[in-house]
Chains A and B, each alone.
Chain A
């Protein structure tokens, strides 16, 4: 994932570097006598005189807004094309602008370094930190209860099977509560997954109260000394008050330690709205992004992280049970901006 975004970001990087370099050339090298250097002026007053002052006295360069306007507009488009939602784009470009404009640098320092540093800073700012589930479980009282939420068709059930597989491989015992009692075939789907992964699943019949199912799952875990309870829920839209209330009830009854919000990496601008609504209704502690193998540009990761400020825990990257990887922002950003960043 993120491949195409990486290529494009590197393009912008070059462009930004280029226009900053050009700004450098444009500064006339006229050694005029200058008055005693005052403290460097604020960003807004980067007039030619100021720039020359600084140039002469400090042998530094001030980057003006005009110099980077065009590459930043390009960056904006690239982010939009990569499915980053508009508010998140505004935030990133805003950070870039305020960091770059008016920044001074010594003539000698390489342009790339500044650009890479700023972009990295802006992206990391938005992506936040990763989430180490293994450390979390080890540090907390057992059973650790994880409730999975999200809209229809994002892959909650499949994700739970994958997470169960991952946790089992890391030496934790797991039980699954099949709380999707609405969708036809959901129980069967969960059962089949659980059998394949080799995990016990607690389920009632279709139409049962999900809170009751999940309560039973937690009780089962407690009685059998199981480390982790993974609780599935039916997909629901954030604008359905009744369904959101039901989710709230589930949360009240089973008291999850972690509420995990599942969304797909291919979602567009709506990702922001629904992440926000779910967060407002039942809270969110971590995010799992599914379908990240669909040649996706990874924008949803940036948008969601920006909107609710919660860490991304896993990426789903395929149809197999092993196709789930922990998410590490530093690594992703480093990958986006080239290995040396």
Chain B
């Protein structure tokens, strides 16, 4: 749905493409499309109005820098304004700290608490959690269960209805632990006694961070709720949950702007590892339904050193299995395939959910198969004969069919790269993906 609006935005930008001077009507149209896109993404109405006003103003008043087209100029302003709105990604220190979780009922605090514990645990810190949700039945069982999966101690007192005393005992018990995360009961900002309770918890625990958990689907309410939570305990970070649905998380944006803090993490799945650090650029792109090519390129440059893949040799047609192996490694370093594809501007293309899993699983299998090849075979795949296939399959614990499938995949890749050379030597992502889709 938003993708369609995103394309509307692109159309509006297209109209600006040929122009040498900025056309007021075109800017108006662009801003209107932007407004609709943002409103549909649940960004607060007042925020949207303020934003569009300043974009319009800047687009008409500022001279585009030399060498920059009108379209890029306007697009840049849109980006800058949105980034400014969002603030920086909040810092996460890897040191001793106490974190207090706050949020509405059902926003995902308990699950996120366990995910956070996992995050810090993987960074090599000792973590413990305290369950101060004394209201919802089963809350302690849920947290205990999640924590036992990752061997994190969880303190709670089922039956005790005084959250403050539980936290007091819990903190005393986990005194030597580096990171203590306190899960609290869901509340909304109109429940005065619950707000008093969280203020008391904050004072008692002297929490280093007070993070507000926001459901990506939360609408215009986000702003008011965030403001009141902020007034009560000075929120210094926001975690958006349920970003794996179709919601765009615009409500969280309002929350961030209201609390003058940043987004710390994004929860994007049901398992305990589905927690991502936040990147403003990618988030804006998702908000507007435009691919995040910039981040993809940056990330690719970061992980693919020159020694890793010789792009030029590849484009000259010298593409061996060894290159493919390196390429797979590089893609793996860039993150799950799903994320990488999510960054590409594939607005119209619908990639089935399970296609990702199959593909990344397959990649892993291919790697194993290639591990079983000799250097000679890797450099010069044409020597691989029937008996060699048999040997490779035995070595990798795979069926000969799998090895043949790999070789077929390799040939497709090779053809795809040749095709790219044909297209003016430019990296033609769309085409490459189409080729992959045929696999």
A residues with a Cβ closer than 8 A to B are 77, 80-83, 85-86, 151-155, 182-193, 206, 237-242, 264, 266-271, 273-274, 290-291, 293-297, 299-300, 319
Contact = CB atoms under 8 A, between A and B. Distances in A.
Contacts, number: 146
Interface stretch (B38-46, B256-264, B325-333): B38-46
B119 to A, nearest CB: 18
A266 B41 CA distance: 14
A264 B434 CA distance: 40
Dominant SS among interface residues on chain B: loop
Interface stretch (B75-83, B210-218, B297-305, B406-414): B210-218
A239 B353 contact: yes
B228 to A, nearest CB: 9
B220 A271 contact: no
B217 A271 contact: yes
Contact of B36 (A86, A182, A191): A86
Interface in B192-230: 215-221, 224-225
A297 B222 CA distance: 12
Dominant SS among interface residues on chain A: loop
B138 to A, nearest CB: 3
A1 to B, nearest CB: 11
Given A154-B106, A238-B245, A238-B246, A184 B221 contact: no
Interface string B343-384: 000000000111000000000000000000000000000000
A273 B1 contact: yes
Contacts of B104: 266, 291, 294
Contacts of B46: 81
Contacts of A153: 105-108, 215, 242
Contact of B137 (A193, A238, A242, A269): A193
B42 A294 contact: no
B398 interface: no
Given A77-B45, A185-B145, A296-B221, A240 B353 contact: yes
Contacts of A191: 137-138
Interface string B247-259: 1101100000000
A152 B221 contact: no
Given A184-B141, A185-B141, A270 B45 contact: no
Residue of B104, B136, B139, B246 with most partner-chain A CB within 10 A: B246
Interface of B: 1, 36, 39-42, 45-46, 104-108, 135-143, 145-146, 188-190, 215-221, 224-225, 242, 244-248, 250-251, 270, 352-354
A339 B251 CA distance: 33
A2 to B, nearest CB: 13
B136 A189 contact: yes
A266 B221 contact: yes
A297 B44 CA distance: 13
Nearest to A277: B246
A86 B39 contact: yes
Given A151-B242, A291-B104, A269 B141 contact: no
Contact of A188 (B135, B138, B189, B215): B138
B388 to A, nearest CB: 39
Considering the complex of A and B, which 8 residue pairs feature the smallest CB-CB distances, nearest first? A268-B219, A185-B142, A189-B138, A192-B137, A153-B106, A268-B42, A184-B145, A270-B247
A225 B135 CA distance: 33
